[in-house]
Structures are given as structure tokens and as C-alpha cells.
A and B are shown apart, each in its own frame.
Chain A
Amino acid sequence: MNELKTENLSCKRGENIVLNNINFSIKSGETLVVKGRNGSGKTTLLRILSNFITSYEGKVLFNDVGISDDNLYNSKFNLIGQKNSLKENLSIKKNLELWDILFNEALNHAKLLEHNNLYHLINKDVSSLSDGQKKCISLHRLNYNKCDMWFLDEPFVFLDEVNTNLLIEKINQFNENMGTVILTSNINLPKKFHKEINI
């Protein structure tokens, strides 16, 4: 049973106070939705949790160990940011090939892409896809490297109804397998998840 919690987390970017006294705690099997207006620091929060931003006040503890002190923490989460991490000039197939090398894992892409109805486009250039399709491919990264936590930055943007439901299903399945999900959103989601905070 893992627990990720923050204590009085505050962060300043330059002169602006971006996060002010954020407190939450989330355990295995739960999903936390971080809501807030545009520019309220949701992405900053995820980047702090992913150990990219190291200058903040307060504590972030994973199983009561500070995440900057924990050597194994980096392998325990999967961050899907707002950028798609796709090379626009290459086809989907080549992008997946590059990800296979990067994550050191060869997936059965056919089976997984069939889900999102994208397998027939696998040889098309990424630049010719729609934003929603690119987002689906970007979220496909969640299938790599089994880990305990998912940090998703605005994952439902651009997705249509079918893909939104598929993603919700995927998150539910992950929660049933004792995985933790923290996702940010600035719109109301079709389903109520376990926990919600507003920043």
C-alpha cells in the first residue's frame, strides 16, 4: 500500500507564487483530480511530483520518504505531460519504434491501438492526424513500464466521447490493480473520481 502526500507545498516561479500550501494525500487504488483555472499551477504541481522542479517549500512524501531523497522514486511513476512527445515528421510506427527503444520494452502495439481505432493509421505521418488522435497515441505511453503511479496532465483534452470513456475505463482498471492516478483537468469530467482538490 503506497501513499503519496504533500505537506504545505508552496512553489514560487520567479516572483509569482504559483502554489500556496497544497495539502493532499492519496493512497494506492485512488485517483485524485486536480482542478483549477488556467495558469493556477496544475502543471507545476505535476512537475514537482515528477521530480523536475526541485525548489519548493514544504514536503512531498512517498511512503514517508521525501521524493528527492528516494532513489527509486523515478521508476515508480509515468508522467504524461501536455506535450505529445511525438515527432511530427515521422509516422506513428516509427514513433512507437523510438519509444520502444527509449522505454526498453517492445509492446504489442497492434492489440493496443485497435482499442482506439488507430491501428489502420499506423503508417501515416503524425502531422496528418487530428489533435485527438495525437493525444490517444500520447496516452498510449501508459502501457509501457508497469509502475505504481500515473501523473496525467489534462488527459481528456481533445478526446471525443468514445476515447474519453476508454480512458476512464483504463484509469478504473489501473485503480483496481492498486495503481494511483493524479490527473489535472480544468473542465468537469463525466465521472466522479475518488478525490478532488482545487488549486
Chain B
Amino acid sequence: MSNLIKRDLLLSFYSSANFFFTVSFFILILMLIPFAFGTQTEQLKVLFRGVVWIALALSIIITVDRIYNADYEDGNLDIIMQKNKTIEYLIISKYITHWFIYCLPLLVILPVLSFLFYLDYLETVQIFINLFIGSFGMVFIANFVSALTLGARRTIFLKAIIMIPLFVPFIIFGSDAGSWPILLALSMLSFVISIYVTAYGLRLYGE
């Protein structure tokens, strides 16, 4: 499994998906808040909590086409599936790399941004914990939607229509400070469903 993780990280590094792009996208979406809503402090504090989840959801939706599609289309997925008889190793390695490349930078930059939006230390920690737990669940969901729709090319809006209702419970509980146990339950549920459905989708497209 470690060679799969290494390969994915190297591949994304070569394909210029990097820390600066993901972080810039995140910052720019959050930057739209004061432009759209005004700069009153109290309002910014309330809005930041929610829009940070919307920004995370958007970041994940944009990258859903990069998970399995490239390898499927050029034939590398065949090699990978043949080399790894237990397909679960491939799936878990994809979870790890996808989260690492597209969610971890956002979590790293979050404390800086929350200070820009006048949140204090305790609130930042709460938001961080919620985002940390919820981001895993959203990554699991994005992975299985990607694996199921490998054959549907250039349908990013359709995939967004499928994924956003699935993200709704995460966003509802995520923007509320004390609900990290429910978020953890949701993430674990989506992990179980996602492993099964992703394996099903990959085998289906292997035929």
C-alpha cells in the first residue's frame, strides 16, 4: 500500500496539484465573505463558521474528477488492480492521498484565517476539530461518487448534484460547535458505505 501512496503523491506533485493552489482557492472563497456581506465583526464571526464548510465542500467537489478518472482512462488502473488483489488497499491509499493533498492544506491554514475573522482561540479549536472529523467523511463520499461515475465524462455538475445532498448532514452538524460525536458517527458510516461502494464501482469498471 505504501507504494500506491508514494505513487499518488508523486503523481500529484508532478501534475502541479500542490499546497499553494488548494490553499489559495480556500482563502479566496473565504475572502468573498467580507465582499459579499460587509465587514462588521460579529457578522464575520458567524459567517466564517458556516462558509468554511461550504469552501471545503467546493474544494472537494472540484477535485472529484481527479481521484480515479485519470488512471482509469489511460489504463494505469488495470495495472494497479491487477497488482493489488485486495482492492481495499488501493481504496484506502486513495483516501489517504486525497485527504492529504486536498484537505490537509486547508486545515493547516485554518487557524491563520480564523484569526483574520476575529475568532478567538477556543472557537478556532472547535472549528478545527469539526473540520478535521468532517473532512474525512466528505473525502470518503467524494471517492465513492468518483468510482461510481468513472464512465461519465465531463459531468462535474451532475456529480456535484449527487454529492451535495450527501454532504448536507456534515455541513449541518459541522457548523455547530459541540457536535463532533455526531460528525464522527457520520464519518464512520460514510467510511463503511464508501469502501463497499467504491470497491463495487472499481470492479464494475474493470470489466
A associates with B:
yes
Q: Which residues does A use to contact B, with CB under 8 Å?
A: 47, 50-55, 71, 74, 79, 81-90, 94, 97-98, 101-104, 141
- Given contacts A71-B85, A84-B74, are A53 and B207 in contact (CB under 8 A)? yes
Q: How far is the CB of A163 from chain B (nearest CB, A)?
A: 20
- Residues of B near A97 (CB, < 8 A) are 10
Select one of B7, B15, B74, B81 contacting A83, CB under 8 A: B74
- Residues of A near B4 (CB, < 8 A) are 102
- Residues of A near B76 (CB, < 8 A) are 85, 87, 102
Answer yes or no: B11 CB below 8 A from chain A CBs. yes
Q: How far is the CB of B206 from chain A (nearest CB, A)?
A: 5
A54 to B84 Cα, complex, angstroms: 16
21 contacts across the A-B interface (CB closer than 8 A)? A50-B78, A52-B78, A52-B81, A52-B82, A52-B206, A52-B207, A53-B207, A74-B85, A79-B78, A82-B75, A83-B75, A83-B78, A84-B74, A87-B15, A87-B76, A89-B15, A102-B76, A102-B80, A103-B79, A104-B3, A141-B79
Q: Are A102 and B3 in contact (CB under 8 A)?
A: yes
A53 to B6 Cα, complex, angstroms: 28
Answer yes or no: B14 CB below 8 A from chain A CBs. yes
A102 to B83 Cα, complex, angstroms: 8
Q: Who on chain B is nearest to A85 by CB?
A: B75
Contact mask B73-100 → A, CB, 8 Å, 1/0? 1111011111101000000000000000
- Residues of A near B75 (CB, < 8 A) are 81-85
Cβ-closest 3 pairs across A and B: A83-B75, A85-B75, A101-B7
Secondary structure type dominating chain B contacts: helix
Q: How far is the CB of B101 from chain A (nearest CB, A)?
A: 16
A141 to B79 Cα, complex, angstroms: 10
Q: Who on chain B is nearest to A138 by CB?
A: B75
A24 to B14 Cα, complex, angstroms: 45
Q: How far is the CB of A16 from chain B (nearest CB, A)?
A: 14
Select one of B3, B6, B78 contacting A81, CB under 8 A: B78
Secondary structure type dominating chain A contacts: loop
Q: How far is the CB of B9 from chain A (nearest CB, A)?
A: 10
- Residues of A near B85 (CB, < 8 A) are 71, 74
A68 to B167 Cα, complex, angstroms: 38
- Residues of B near A54 (CB, < 8 A) are 207
Q: Are B6 and A101 in contact (CB under 8 A)?
A: yes
- Residues of B near A55 (CB, < 8 A) are 207
- Given contacts A85-B74, A87-B70, are A50 and B11 in contact (CB under 8 A)? no
- Given contacts A52-B206, A90-B14, A94-B14, are A101 and B78 in contact (CB under 8 A)? no
A104 to B80 Cα, complex, angstroms: 12
Q: How far is the CB of A161 from chain B (nearest CB, A)?
A: 26
- Residues of B near A74 (CB, < 8 A) are 82-83, 85
- Residues of B near A81 (CB, < 8 A) are 75, 78
Contact mask B116-143 → A, CB, 8 Å, 1/0? 0000000000000000000000000000
Q: Are B79 and A102 in contact (CB under 8 A)?
A: yes
A87 to B83 Cα, complex, angstroms: 19
A97 to B166 Cα, complex, angstroms: 37
- Residues of B near A84 (CB, < 8 A) are 74-75
Instruction: Give 8 new A-B contacts, CB below 8 A, not counting A79-B79, A83-B73, A101-B7.
Output: A50-B78, A52-B78, A71-B85, A81-B75, A87-B74, A89-B15, A98-B10, A101-B3
A82 to B7 Cα, complex, angstroms: 22
Q: How far is the CB of A71 from chain B (nearest CB, A)?
A: 7
A146 to B18 Cα, complex, angstroms: 36
Q: How far is the CB of B107 from chain A (nearest CB, A)?
A: 27
- CB neighbors of A among B1-60 (8 A): 3-4, 6-7, 10-11, 14-15
